[in-house]
Chain A
Amino acid sequence: MIKKFDKKDEESGSGSNPFQHLEKSAVLQEARIFNETPINPRRCLHILTKIIYLLNQGEHFGTMEATEAFFAMTRLFQSNDQTLRRMCYLTIKELANLSEDVIIVTSSLTKDMTGKEDVYRGPAIRALCRITDTTMLQAIERYMKQAIVDKVPSVSSSALVSSLHMVKMSYDVVKRWVNEAQEAASSDNVMVQYHALGLLYHLRKNDRLAVTKMLNKFTKSGLKSPFAYCMLIRIASKLLDETEGGHDSPLFDFIESCLRNKNEMVVYEAASAIVHMPNCTARELAPAVSVLQLFCSSPKAALRYAAVRTLNKVAMKHPSAVTACNLDLENLITDSNRSIATLAITTLLKTGSESSVDRLMKQISSFVSEISDEFKVVVVQAISALCQKYPRKHSVMMNFLSNMLRDDGGFDYKRAIVDCIISIIEENPDSKETGLAHLCEFIEDCEHTVLATKILHLLGKEGPRTPQPSKYIRFIFNRVVLESEAVRAAAVSALAKFGAQNDDLLPSVLVLMQRCMMDSDDEVRDRATFYMNVLQQKQKALNAAYIFNGLSVSIPGLEKSLHQYTLEPSEKPFDMKSVPLATAPLSEQKMEMAPVATSKLPEKLAPSRQDIYQEQLASIPEFQSLGPLFKSSDPVQLTEAETEYVVRCIKHTFSKHMVFQFDCTNTLNDQLLQKVVVQMEPSESYEVLHYVPAANLPYSQPGSCYTLVRLPDDDPTAVSCTFSCTMKYLVRDCDPNTGEPDDDGYDDEYVLEDLEVTVADHIQKVLKPNFGAAWEEVGEDNEKEETFALASVRTLEEAVGNIISFLGMQPCERSDKVPENKNSHVLFLAGVFRGAHDVLVRARLALADGVTMQVTVRSSDETVVDIILASVG
């Protein structure tokens, strides 16, 4: 009868969905018939379905409502209708978190789980485990153990999977069921086998030995279930990865043997596992690649997709290994599934030759609008990689990218394109103008503040130095009129750079600036006023210091110094020079753009290495009076790799002192070292002031000791020095097993390699985005010039590399990259010398037989210039 009733409803309603206009309250009202006797299974079933449907649609049930419905439902256990009972289980699971006192059905479920009806038993176990907590679990433990080894597969599977779900909640109880799970693992049923394996692994995954044993057992005995095989392959490859096991290990052999399994799922899993292994050789990859190649021509889209996606990954690391598949990949270019076609093309872009690039790009542009954003990012990344490989292709790429930029797309996609265009501009000076034009067009209609500000910054940096700077002004000023605060502020900064660089534009820029001073936002007004005043002075030095080259201090350092300053009231103005400089120039990080399409984690601003050292050193009382840390060097190894003690040194430079930090590791498990110091004998007039010993150095736990040295005051040019180092310590022998040391020890020493202090230790790298302006700012008061012949150097690249590493200064204007086929090159280096003196070096290099180098040094301090020139010579 109810059925008919529904029909009527449905016909009067729109569409043919009997659940369309369900009202929660009406359904709950209907649920009252659950209490009628005798139970009408058909009607009740329909109402339960409605309740589950509503829950599934995301309808919210209050605790009262849920509890009421739940209790009404419990009555239905009196009926023996199979489907109705099964729906009761589902309802229990759905309401488990919403209703109160769900444990009331425990006894009913326990009865079903141990009853005679096999159809009920599995689902009853799963429902029961859903409502059980740790204390209740003990009560049903006996039944669970029996169920795991039950001969009915559905019962055993249900018990195993439910146990797995409960491991998180009650590990200690489930752990006791290992033996039962072990027994289930040898079941004939494929699913039981799979579930048992999964549970066993989950219980033992922290015990590597147990996992190894388990793997050995199953790889030898063989399994029936393809799912279980996939699981085994994953466990094996994880174990291989953790133990760094070589590829001659039996585990690798097992994975490789799975390539010959008759089930495609297993074969693919094995191939994928091999491909993902780190440091796989081409020979080891070959069998995996050839099965993937076969899959490329499978009629199943999912298999083709899986194969080409995995090949794409191989191509990132081993493009040559994939070239064998090029023909098969070519066939996939026209695949009707665009995801497959995209992956095929991007793979080919990585493996193919330069001549095929145009054709592939044409192909992909025909359907790029149809693919999802995730794949568009993949395409952009492939293009980005390609531009680095074949710089001459940049015009084709640029066209393609600008078209993509015009299409719709999310933030990640647009950001990938913008990053790619920017990197092309930086690599190829020829493409700068077209690239900037595309970006200008893009910001005209750009909803992403981050991208707009990024592009405005780039325009400010690059625009003024193009032949026609005036054409960018319009684009930039439009932003001031139309956009949000952040973008307006960025536009003002960009404008100021045009005014500072181009004298003929200055009057117009000043007019525009004046208008910005009436902006409604504080930051925009402040910036405009500030730039206005700087620009009106018309002084190159001011422009360079305040417009082109911003602050080069470390931001956390500045914050700390300012905080310190506010704590101690003083008459003196705050000294910018007391703030530690920023390390790790930004340009270096960009090179390692990870090929990750979906980075959900926001990038966290990690404190720089130097900030960490600063903290560590400041906590040692002897070093507190040294002032701010100026520079920390990279670690220098003072021992061979495989010796008893491993020592490396980090040189910390302060304005008048140096601290040598020795990180020592004791690799002998039968020794405990105490009072470890490194004695240093300087070759020059450096004076060792103090040793801070490492109190204890137990086996394999690194410890640090420090040596404080004063730099010679009387001779400021003595920047380089050699120290002979000896490690001195007290040895106490100890039991290798317990680590218990003997009562008394003896003194011993260990000779380390010599430690060099060079000019680079006194100079901190500083990036000057506009070197020319900085060069003018320092001025020619202390300029000196000398010419050297570098006889031993054969190429310009080598010379550039040598100079940079010797002086330890930051190359500017990308001058560290030597264009191909050139005989001369100019290298610009910037840095700050200890004591906060700016140093700039211009090195003109010419290649004849060997390299001739003319070095011009400018600095705010004359001694520094002398030091640099003396050290080069």
Chain B
Amino acid sequence: METTSLEPSLHTVKAVLILDNDGNRLLSKYYDPELYPSIKEQRSFEKNVFNKTYKADDEIAFLEGMTIVYKSSIDLFFYVVGSSQENELMLMAVLNCLFDSLSHILRKNIERRCLLENMEGAFLVVDEIIDGGVILESDPQQVLQKVNYRTDEIPLGEQSVTQHLTEKLALTTNVLQSAKEQIKWSLLK
């Protein structure tokens, strides 16, 4: 823990990670080119982070000289990484914004399957929240407005008749399956 103060800069976030419950990368963005430049180093960092955090829902950790705030939901783990001198609450603001925005896009089904089906939404959300390590937006409402993303999944009650039949079928099984997974996970937890 160094005592030197931070150079004033907008570059707050060093990395954003979304991992699944096996610690596999679903989405990772590294904003500091000096931090883990190779994919191998990134993977090993992610592994270390996951191993140290998946057991306890602690919200914050200090690893490899960096402050990491995190949150989990069912089978997903969200991480925001910053320097050890960074204001923890700023990192937390980023994490909360990411979580809330995704929660809205995924219609509260924050779980792996649902995320993977709306991966483009996730990419866009992350892009709107952080640009090159700078916090671009921290208000989920603003993020959603900017992304203006509509999920393919339309809740069961709102299906329009114009929807293609095959697609409808696929979606229904989809929703059912994700519900099943969700129950399974909540039981396992």
A interface residue numbers (CB < 8 A to B): 1, 3-4, 7, 16-19, 45, 48-49, 52-53, 56-58, 82-83, 86-87, 89-90, 93, 119, 122-123, 126, 154, 157-158, 161-162, 164-165, 191, 194-195, 198-199, 201-202, 205, 227, 230-231, 234-235, 237-238, 241, 264-265, 268-269, 272-273, 276, 300-303, 305-306, 309, 312-313, 316, 336-339, 372, 374-375, 378, 595-598, 600
Contact = CB atoms under 8 A, between A and B. Distances in A.
A237 B119 CA distance: 42
Contacts of A52: 119-120, 123
B170 A230 contact: no
Interface string B97-118: 0000000000000001100110
A90 B131 CA distance: 11
B77 to A, nearest CB: 15
> Interface on chain B toward A: helix, strand, loop, or mixed SS?
mixed
Nearest to A130: B132
A194 B10 contact: yes
20 contacts: A3-B167, A16-B177, A17-B116, A58-B42, A90-B124, A158-B136, A191-B135, A191-B137, A195-B10, A202-B9, A227-B135, A227-B138, A265-B87, A268-B87, A301-B59, A596-B2, A597-B65, A598-B1, A598-B64, A598-B84
Contact of B5 (A205, A237, A300, A596): A237
Interface in B16-52: 25, 27-29, 39, 42-43, 52
Contact of B8 (A16, A56, A158, A235): A235
A4 B136 contact: no
Contacts of B128: 123
A158 B39 CA distance: 28
B14 to A, nearest CB: 14
Contacts of B179: none
B76 interface: no
A49 B88 contact: no
Nearest to B147: A86
Contacts of B59: 300-302, 305, 337
Nearest to A295: B89
Nearest to A598: B65
Nearest to A164: B10
B92 A191 contact: no
Given A268-B87, A302-B88, A309 B119 contact: no
B136 A372 contact: no
A87 B120 contact: yes
Given A18-B117, A49-B120, A302-B69, A372 B87 contact: no
Contacts of A595: 1, 3
B85 to A, nearest CB: 8
Nearest to A597: B1
B1 A596 contact: yes
Given A336-B58, A598-B65, A273 B5 contact: yes
A198 B42 contact: no
A4 B56 CA distance: 38
> Interface on chain A toward B: helix, strand, loop, or mixed SS?
helix
A375 B120 contact: no
Nearest to A273: B5
A607 to B, nearest CB: 25
B117 A339 contact: no
Contacts of A157: 136-137
Contacts of A93: 127
B183 interface: no
Given A195-B10, A268-B87, A276-B5, A19 B131 contact: no
Contacts of B134: 161, 164-165, 195, 198
Given A7-B170, A123-B127, A269 B8 contact: no
B60 A339 contact: yes
Contacts of A16: 112-113, 116, 177, 181
Contacts of A49: 119-120, 123
B185 interface: no
B25 A234 contact: no
Contacts of A195: 10, 134
A48 B137 CA distance: 25
Contacts of B63: 372, 374
B62 interface: yes
Contacts of A199: 10
B116 A238 contact: no
B170 A4 contact: yes
Contacts of B113: 16
- Across chains A and B, which 6 residue pairs bring their CB atoms closest together, nearest first? A598-B65, A58-B39, A198-B10, A301-B59, A234-B8, A265-B89
A201 B10 CA distance: 10
Contacts of B58: 301, 336-339
Contacts of B39: 58
A42 to B, nearest CB: 9
A738 B51 CA distance: 64
Interface in B131-176: 131-132, 134-138, 142, 146-150, 152, 166-167, 170
Given A87-B124, A195-B134, 16 more contacts: A16-B177, A17-B112, A48-B120, A82-B148, A83-B120, A86-B147, A119-B146, A154-B137, A194-B10, A276-B5, A302-B69, A313-B1, A337-B58, A338-B56, A598-B1, A598-B2
B74 interface: no
Contacts of B123: 49, 52, 87, 90
Given A338-B56, A596-B2, A191 B136 contact: yes
Nearest to A122: B146
A227 B132 CA distance: 17
B124 A238 contact: no
A272 B87 contact: yes
Interface string B79-90: 000001001111
Given A161-B134, A234-B6, A305 B1 contact: no
A1 B89 CA distance: 45
A231 B135 CA distance: 12
A396 B102 CA distance: 50
A91 B136 CA distance: 19
B10 A119 contact: no
B67 to A, nearest CB: 8
A375 B1 CA distance: 10
A576 B128 CA distance: 69
Given A90-B124, A339-B58, A19 B170 contact: no
